[in-house]
């Protein structure tokens, strides 16, 4: 602060001494220029500081999170995630899938119309995983049969689960197939 005051005192002294001097108007102009320039630079630096602080205060836009696959549209989830994952898991256990598809058709045994994943595992079994509505959280059922036979039982599937995930559906289908000793020994 003292440094700032001393130059101003000197400027004031010079201006009082130069009242009688014909060059005093030049000194006043120079002093005003110096004062104006320093004021402008002070103002500019304050503006720069404010601009920098504004940039720090504003949160950078967050990248949009991709929807969890379970929140994707029903057919997208089934065709692009569930069916390929089922094929992978069944193939990993040494079995081959002859056919697997999703259709809006009649559910086996009940004969009501719903979304059905029909899967035929070569020389092993067939299963039908049914969704009552075009929603993975809707009521679901599963039916099993030996190859070239019709299913005789329809069972509810994942009725107590609050959150339905891809891994949960796959594990419960495999658990159900293992329960009948179709994919291996328990």
Domain boundaries of the chain, sorted by first residue: 2-57, 70-179
Contact of 33 with 39, CB cutoff 8 Å: no
| pTM for the structure as a whole | 0.64
Q: What does the pLDDT look like over 23-49, one tens digit per residue? A: 545 545 555 554 555 555 555 555 555
Contact of 70 with 77, CB cutoff 8 Å: yes
Measure the CA–CA gap between 46 and 97, rounded to whole angstroms. Answer: 71
Q: Mean pLDDT over residues 100-117, rounded?
A: 94
CA distances from 110 to 130, 131, 132, 141 (A): 11, 13, 12, 10
pLDDT band at 64 (very low <50, low <70, confident <90, very high): confident
What is the crossing angle of helices 83-92 and 166-179, to 10°?
40
Q: Which of 68, 98, 66 is nearest to 81 (CA)?
A: 68
Strands 140-145, 125-131: pairing is antiparallel
């Amino acid at each position: 602060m003292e440094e700032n005051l001393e130059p101003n005192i000197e400027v004031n002294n010079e201006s009082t001494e130069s009242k009688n001097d014909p060059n005093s108007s030049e000194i006043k102009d120079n002093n005003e220029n110096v004062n104006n320039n320093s004021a402008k630079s002070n103002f500019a630096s304050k503006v720069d500081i404010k601009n920098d602080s504004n940039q720090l205060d504003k949160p950078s836009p967050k990248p949009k999170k991709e929807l969890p696959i379970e929140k994707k549209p029903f057919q997208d989830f089934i065709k692009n995630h569930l069916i390929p994952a089922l094929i992978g898991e069944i193939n990993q256990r040494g079995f081959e899938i002859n056919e697997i598809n999703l259709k809006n058709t009649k559910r086996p045994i009940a004969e009501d119309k719903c979304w059905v994943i029909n899967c035929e595992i070569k020389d092993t079994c067939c299963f039908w995983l049914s969704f009552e509505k075009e929603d993975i959280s809707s009521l679901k059922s599963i039916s099993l049969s030996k190859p070239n036979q019709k299913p005789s039982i329809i069972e509810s599937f994942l009725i107590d689960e609050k959150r339905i995930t891809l891994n949960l559906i796959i594990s419960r289908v495999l658990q159900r197939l293992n329960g009948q000793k179709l994919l291996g020994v328990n």
